[in-house]
Amino acid sequence: MTLAEIETWLREEDAGRLERLWAMADGVRRQHVGDAVHLRGLVELSNHCRRQCAYCGIRAGRNELVRYRLTETEIMDCVRLAVSLGLGTMVLQAGEDPGLTRDGVAGLVRRIKAETALAVTLSLGERDDDELAAWREAGADRYLLRFETSNPELYRRIHPARPVETRDRLAVLESLRRLGYEVGSGVMVGIPGQTYRDLARDIERLGELRLDMIGLGPYLPHPETPLGQAGQTVTDAAADQVPNSAVMATKAMALARLVCPDANIPATTALATVDRARGHALGLQRGANVIMPDLTPPGYRELYAIYPGKTPLTADRIEAVRAVQALVASLGRSVGRGPGGARHREDVTSRPKECPSWSK
Ligand code: SAH
């Protein structure tokens, strides 16, 4: 699919023609990854963060936000909950927290791998190679790090570098691939200042990176962030601005499925937040094959406030997983068993050795 075709689909508003896009994405999803929907248990380990991302509600400098870091005992309780619910993967996500040390995380991963059959996915931000290597060595299977936008100017605006930083997120993705992780990335849809051409390029880039996992969700303004405060003005000013709607997010998701047919693609929490009633279902019908129920203990999950309105419909984690399982069944799909890793993993050596990087 050419860049121009991707952009034309993103601008498409005719309901009949969009039905064709949804049908194509659904067909490719079925053919390449099947009808199983994999559920991943998400645990938000910590909301401490050393970064100043302009979009994110747990960015450093939000002094009024109560910070937490789960203990190993609390995390292992979540792990056991995931096992008891029949889930096959644990996703450990956090702010970019130096308190989650190389050895601490390695020990945790080793313990999960020793005590359970779960696959472990990490999403702990931009970390050094020696940390990423130690965690892979300890048994971590996958890593999620969205590049957020492929427009270098927009990236710099929303994602200020650390003073000591030497590499961008694409370079980290390259390291992850070299270390043998299954690699996931993605972008936010509707960031203030993001044009249709930018988003089309993002999708093209997802295909070039040959990702194992793709996470896409609508950008949701957080009132206590620089971008959340400035957002409205930027949106008004730019005629070419991509909206942060559920339909635009699912267009991007459908196109991501077409450019990366084998990827595991979640119907994201952000999508379910902009459309509470139908977000997850729409995602699953427009290319997605994964849902990540939040298993973070109540009391902490409210503090992992990357955007507003993230609170689930029910605080009961078991009930929430049951609701997702019922949704999957109502769509005529099955709940996946086991770790549900990347289908094209054996293909790993034929991937491009180098990912394109902004720094080149
Ligand atoms: N510290 C980790 C995890 C961050 S949360 C990291 O940076 O990778 C995971 C994702 O949530 C981010 O990559 C971003 O794409 C998304 N996110 C953050 N703030 C958001 C917002 N205001 N609206 C929508 N998505 C957001």
So what's the pLDDT on residue 231?
58
Which ligand 1 atom sits closest to the C-alpha of 220?
A: 23
Quickly state the pLDDT bin for 232 (edges 50, 70, 90).
low
* pLDDT reported for residue 234: 52
- Cβ atoms within 10 Å, residue 264: 26
How much distance in Å is there from the Cα of 58 to the middle of ligand 1? Answer: 9
| More confident: 136 or 358 | 136
* Mean pLDDT value of segment 192-201: 97
Find the mean pLDDT for residues 201-211.
97
Split at pLDDT 50, 70, 90, the class of 347 is very low
- Quote the pLDDT of residue 346: 41
- What is the residue type of 181? Y
Residue 188 beta carbon below 6 angstroms from any ligand 1 atom: yes
Instruction: Tell me the mean pLDDT in the region 113-127.
Output: 98
- CA-to-CA distance for 22 and 284, rounded, in angstroms? 10
Taking all residues of the chain, what is their mean pLDDT, rounded to a whole number?
92
Q: Whose CA is nearest to atom 2 of ligand 1?
A: 125
CA of 14 to the centre of ligand 1 (A): 31
Residues 65-90 have a mean pLDDT of 98
* Residue 15 neighbours by CB distance under 10 Å: 8
Q: In this model, does residue 286 exceed pLDDT 60?
A: yes
Closest-CA residue, ligand 1 atom 24, reads 219
* Angstrom distance (rounded) from CA 355 to CA 150: 13
Q: 216 C-alpha vs ligand 1 centroid, how far in Å?
A: 10
Cβ of residue 10 lying under 6 Å from some atom of ligand 1: no
pLDDT at 326 over 70: yes
Question: Given this model, what pLDDT does residue 148 score?
Answer: 98
Pocket test for ligand 1, best of 40, 51, 52, 55 (most atoms within 8 A of CB): 55
Cβ of 217 closer than 6 Å to ligand 1, yes or no, is yes
If one compares 123 and 234, the residue with the highest pLDDT of the two is 123
Q: Read off the pLDDT band of 359 (50, 70, 90).
A: very low
What's the half-sphere exposure (Cβ side, CA atoms, 13 Å) at 230? 12
Q: Is the CB of 148 under 6 A from ligand 1?
A: yes
pLDDT at 33: 97
Mean of the pLDDT values across residues 82-86? 97
Which token pair is 93? 């996500």
Q: Indicate the range of 96-105, 266-275, 342-351 predicted with least confidence.
A: 342-351
Domain boundaries, the chain: 3-336
Tell me the average pLDDT across 294-299: 96
Nearest to 148 by CA among 270, 9, 15: 270
Among 91, 146, 148, 176, residue to substitute to test ligand 1 (most atoms within 8 Å of Cβ): 146
CA distances (Å), 141 to each of 83, 97, 137, 351, in order? 17, 20, 10, 18
Q: How far is the CA of 306 from the centre of ligand 1 (A)?
A: 6
Would you say the CB of residue 307 lies under 6 angstroms from ligand 1? yes
CA-307 nearest atom, ligand 1: 22
Per-residue pLDDT band at 280 (split at 50, 70, 90): very high
Which residue's CA is the closest to the ligand 1 atom numbered 11?
Answer: 306
Q: What is the 3-state secondary structure (H, E, C) of the chain?
A: CCHHHHHHHHHCCCHHHHHHHHHHHHHHHHHHHCCEEEEEEEEEEECCCCCCCCCCCCCCCCCCCCCCECCHHHHHHHHHHHHHCCCCEEEEEECCCCCCCHHHHHHHHHHHHHHCCCEEEEECCCCCHHHHHHHHHHCCCEEECCCECCCHHHHHHHCCCCCCCCCCHHHHHHHHHHCCCEEEEEEEECCCCCEHHHHHHHHHHHHHCCCCEEEEEECCCCCCCHHHHHHHHHHHHCCCECCCCHHHHHHHHHHHHHHCCCCECECCHHHHHHCCCCHHHHHHHCCCCEECCECCCCCCHHHCCCCCCCCCCCCCHHHHHHHHHHHHHHCCCEECCCCCCCCCHHHHHHCCCCCCCCCC
What's this model's pTM, rounded to 2 decimal places?
Answer: 0.94
Nearest CA to ligand 1 atom 4: 95
Q: What is the pLDDT of residue 237?
A: 52
CATH number for the domain formed by residue range(s) 3-336: 3.20.20.70
Of the candidates 62, 67, 140, which has an alpha carbon nearest to the alpha carbon of residue 102?
A: 140
Q: So what's the pLDDT on residue 238?
A: 64
Nearest CA to ligand 1 atom 25: 219
CA of 119 to the centre of ligand 1 (A): 22
Residues 179, 132: Cα–Cα separation, whole Å: 8
- The predicted pLDDT at position 342 comes to 87
CA distance 260 to 268: 17
SS3 sequence of 252-290: HHHHHHHHCCCCECECCHHHHHHCCCCHHHHHHHCCCCE
Both structure tokens of 15: 């309901």
